[in-house]
Amino acid sequence: MISPGKGFSGVSVFRLADGELKNRKDVVAVEEPLEIRIEYVVDGVLKRAPISITMRTPGEDFELAVGFLHGEGIIQDRGDVRQVSYCQGGEPQTYNIVLVKLASKVAFDPEVLARNFYTTSSCGVCGKASLEAIDLTGCEKIADIGLEVSSAVLKSLPGILREKQGLFERTGGIHAAGLFSQSGECISIQEDVGRHNAVDKVVGEAFLKSMIPLDRHILIVSGRTSFDIMQKALVARVSIVAAVGAPSSLAVDLAEKFGMTLLGFTRADGFNVYAGSRRIVG
């Protein structure tokens, strides 16, 4: 186990060069489990419950935990969280367990969680089989607030994201998510072996800074755009989601249904618009 904030680890490898295997030093992205627990009050009784285990790159664990809980609808605003900390008191994996203490006003019923909150670093296992399942969470369509973003700003985002990917530069094996303003100002860049974790870290950071809803912001991800990433963006009320890679069919369906703008194959020379072209100008 490594301490939080260090997302890479040194390894010894053999590299084939000029027909010969040669020993050399290298670094790889760290992947470790993170258990998210919550502390809540029911009828005046203080209780704790494990909510999720996710494989992640250590660093910004508090943001990851809060972002995940927000995406699942367990917390709505900054006032719902009293404290976030690593578990203490002799825990064998201190830095791999995060405890989120909910405010007493938060009504949490563990029986409502009928599915298993287990996710992997490769893809989020959200457990929602259809768009109708999102309707049950109370998510509404993203309001048309007159947001417009120039194509020049959108084309610049992948380059900025790549420049700020410190762990990718070291390891070549990590995803990133970035939050940008309408004018292209970089608000936050987060990295993780799981692209959905990187999104949770970005959203969690914004949540802890009381920035949500993010309806005047742009979220960009380094890889493809899947259903679960769009779901997290929707709950955070992100109007525009851009990706360096391709979207899935369900991601496109979600964007269309809930009035989001979705871009794919975003590059310096252009991009595809899969939904919500009205927000793009120039």
Whether residue 195 contacts residue 223, with contact meaning beta carbons closer than 8 Å, is answered with yes
Contacts of residue 271, defined as CB under 8 A and 6 or more positions apart, other chains included, come to 151, 154, 155, 242, 263, 264, 265
- List the catalytic residues: 123
Ordered per-residue pLDDT tens for the chain, 282 residues: 344 446 877 888 888 888 889 898 877 888 899 999 999 998 889 999 999 899 999 999 999 999 999 998 899 999 999 999 998 655 555 789 999 999 999 988 777 664 434 444 444 444 444 556 556 467 899 999 999 999 999 999 999 998 887 665 566 568 899 999 999 999 999 999 889 999 999 999 999 999 999 999 999 999 899 999 999 999 999 999 999 999 999 999 999 999 999 999 999 999 999 999 999 998
Determine contact, residues 38/52, Cβ cutoff 8 Å: no
Measure the CA–CA gap between 176 and 12, rounded to whole angstroms.
Answer: 26
Domains of the chain: 32-135 (3.10.20.10), 149-281 (3.40.140.10)
